Chains A and B, each alone.
Chain A
Amino acid sequence: MSKNQSRWHCSESRLYDNSNGISRRDLLRNTGGGLGAIALAMMATESETRSASVESNPTGTPGILKGVLHHPPKASRVIELFMAGAASHLDLFDYKPELQRRNGQESNFGESVEAFQNGLGPWLAPVWKFGQYGQSGQYLSEAVSAFAPVADEITFVHNMVGKTGIHSQATLLQTTGFSLPGFPSAGSWISYGLGSMNDNLPTFVVMPDHRGLASNGTKNWDSGFLPGQYSGTVTYPGQPNPIANLQADERYRGRFSSDSEADALRLMAHINRTHASQRPEDSRLDARIRGYELAARMQLAAPEALDLSKEAQHTLKLYGLDHIPSTYPSEINALEETQVFSRKCLTARRLIERGVRFVQIWSGNDNGFPRRNWDSHEDVKRDHGPLARGMAHGASALIQDLKQRGLLDDTIVLWSTEFGRMPSSQGGLGRDHNPYCFTTWMAGGGIKGGLKYGPSDDFGYKPADRDKPTMIYDVHATLLHLLGIDHKKLTYRNNGIDRRLTDVHGHVIREILA
Chain B
Amino acid sequence: MMKPALNSTMIGCLFILQGIASGDDSNIKQSSQLFRDVVAPSFEKACLSCHNESKSRGGLSLATKSGLLKGSENGPVFEIGKPDESRILEVLLGDKPEMPKKAKPLDPTIIMSVSEWIRTGAVWPDSIKLADKSEGVEIKPLWSLQPVQNQKIPELPQSHQNWRINAIDNFIAKDHISFGFKPTPEADRRTLVRRLYFDLTGLPPMPEDVENFQGNTHPKAYEKLVDHLLATPAYGERWARHWLDIVHYGETHGYDKDKPRPNAWPYRDYVISAFNQDKPYAKFIQEQIAGDVLFPESSDAVKALGLLAAGPWDFIGHAEVPESKIDGKIARHLDRDDMVGTTVGSLMSLTIQCAQCHDHKFDPLLQTDYYRLQAVFAAVDRADKPYYDSPQQQLRYNHLQHQKLAVQRRLPILEQVIRVAGGPKLAQIEERIALTKQSVSQKDHPQYGYHSQIASDQKEVKWVQLDFDNPEKIQKIVISPSSDNFNNIGPGFGFPLRYRVEISDGKGIDDNKIAVADFTSKDLINPGIKPQVIETPSGKGVRHIRVTATKLAPRQNDFIFSLSEITVLDDKGQNISKKAKLTALDSIESPVRWQIKNLSDGIAPALLSDYETNTLKLSELEKSKTELIRQSVSSKVIEERNQVANELQFIESQLKSLPKSEMVYAGTVHHGSGAFAGTGSNGGMPRSIFKLPRGDVKNPMEKVGPGAIKVLKFAPSEFQFEDTDDESKRRAALADWLTHRDNPLFWRSIVNRVWQYHFGRGIVDPPGDFGHMGGTPSHPELLDYLATTFRDTGGSLKALHRQIVTSATYRQQSTGPEEFAQRDSNNIHLWRQNRRKLEAEAVRDSLLAVSGQLDYKMGGPSFKDFVVQQPEHSPHYEYHLANPDDPAAHRRSIYRFIVRSQPQPFLTAMDCADPSIRVDKRNESVSAAAALAQWNHGLVLALSEHLGRRIQSISVKDTASKVRWAFQQCLSRQPSTDELQLLTSYAEKHGFDKLARLLLNLNEFSFVD
Contact = CB atoms under 8 A, between A and B. Distances in A.
Given A39-B108, A39-B109, A267 B998 contact: yes
Interface string B927-958: 11111110111100110010000000000000
Interface in B81-101: 83-84, 89-90, 93-96
Interface in A420-467: 426-430
A181 B928 contact: no
A106 to B, nearest CB: 14
A495 interface: yes
A405 interface: no
A28 B908 CA distance: 46
Contact of A29 (B84, B768, B773, B930): B84
Interface residues of A, number: 104
Given A219-B916, A264-B997, A496-B769, A276 B1003 contact: yes
Interface residues of B, number: 118
Contacts of B588: 369
Interface in B893-913: 900-903, 905, 908-909, 911
Nearest to A281: B821
A25 B255 contact: no
A35 to B, nearest CB: 5
B654 interface: no
B924 interface: yes
Contacts of B326: 114, 164
Contact of B936 (A245, A263, A278, A288): A245
Contacts of B923: 225, 227-228
Contacts of A29: 83-84
B99 to A, nearest CB: 13
A377 B592 CA distance: 10
Interface stretch (B47-55, B310-318, B844-852): B310-318
A196 to B, nearest CB: 10
A144 B378 CA distance: 48
Contacts of B258: 216-217
A166 B331 contact: yes
B327 A114 contact: yes
Contacts of A514: none
Contact of B914 (A224, A278, A284, A430): A224
B927 A36 contact: no
A39 B773 contact: no
Given A168-B255, A215-B256, A46 B768 contact: no
Interface in B875-902: 876, 880, 884, 900-902
Interface string B47-72: 00000000000000000000000000
Contacts of A25: 84, 90, 93
B429 interface: no
Contacts of B225: none
Contacts of B815: 278-279, 281
Contacts of B942: 252
Contact of B928 (A114, A279, A294): A294
A496 B353 CA distance: 11
Contacts of A288: 926, 931, 1003, 1006
A359 B259 CA distance: 29
A169 interface: yes
B990 A229 contact: no
**Which interface residue of A36, A252, A379 has the most chain B CB atoms within 10 A?**
A252
Interface in A379-412: 379
B926 to A, nearest CB: 4
Nearest to B822: A281
Interface stretch (B279-287, B710-718, B981-989): B981-989
Given A28-B89, A229-B925, A496-B354, A271 B1002 contact: yes
B909 to A, nearest CB: 7
A268 B453 contact: no
Given A224-B917, A288-B1003, A368-B870, A35 B5 contact: yes
Given A166-B314, A248-B941, A179 B334 contact: yes
B369 to A, nearest CB: 16
B642 interface: no
B936 A246 contact: yes
Contacts, number: 306
A260 interface: yes
A102 interface: no
Interface in A133-179: 163-169, 171, 179
A43 B2 CA distance: 10
Contact of B986 (A167, A231, A264): A264
Interface string B339-369: 0000000000001001000000011000000
B924 A284 contact: yes
Contacts of A287: 926
A427 B446 contact: yes
B928 A180 contact: no
B592 A427 contact: yes
Q: Name which of B818, B920, B925 has the most chain A CB atoms within 10 A of its CB.
A: B925
A461 to B, nearest CB: 16
Interface in A55-99: none
B821 A42 contact: no
Contacts of B84: 25, 28-29
Contacts of B1007: 282, 284-285
Interface string B789-825: 0000000000000000000000000111010010001
Contacts of A496: 351, 354, 362-363, 766, 768-769, 771, 773-774
Contact of A36 (B2, B257, B929, B1009): B2
7 contacts: A35-B112, A38-B116, A213-B876, A227-B924, A228-B923, A276-B1003, A291-B928
Interface of A: 24-25, 28-29, 35-36, 38-40, 42-43, 46, 50, 114, 116, 163-169, 171, 179-182, 202, 212-213, 215-219, 222, 224-225, 227-231, 233, 241, 244-249, 251-252, 255-256, 259-260, 263-264, 267-268, 270-272, 274-276, 278-282, 284-285, 287-292, 294-295, 298-299, 366-370, 377-379, 426-430, 488-489, 493, 495-498
Given A256-B994, A280-B818, A496-B768, 13 more contacts: A39-B108, A42-B108, A168-B255, A169-B255, A215-B256, A233-B929, A264-B997, A267-B998, A274-B976, A288-B926, A370-B589, A496-B769, A498-B773
Can you list the 9 inter-chain pairs with the closest CB atoms, starting with the nearest? A217-B901, A496-B769, A249-B938, A182-B917, A368-B873, A168-B256, A366-B874, A168-B255, A181-B916
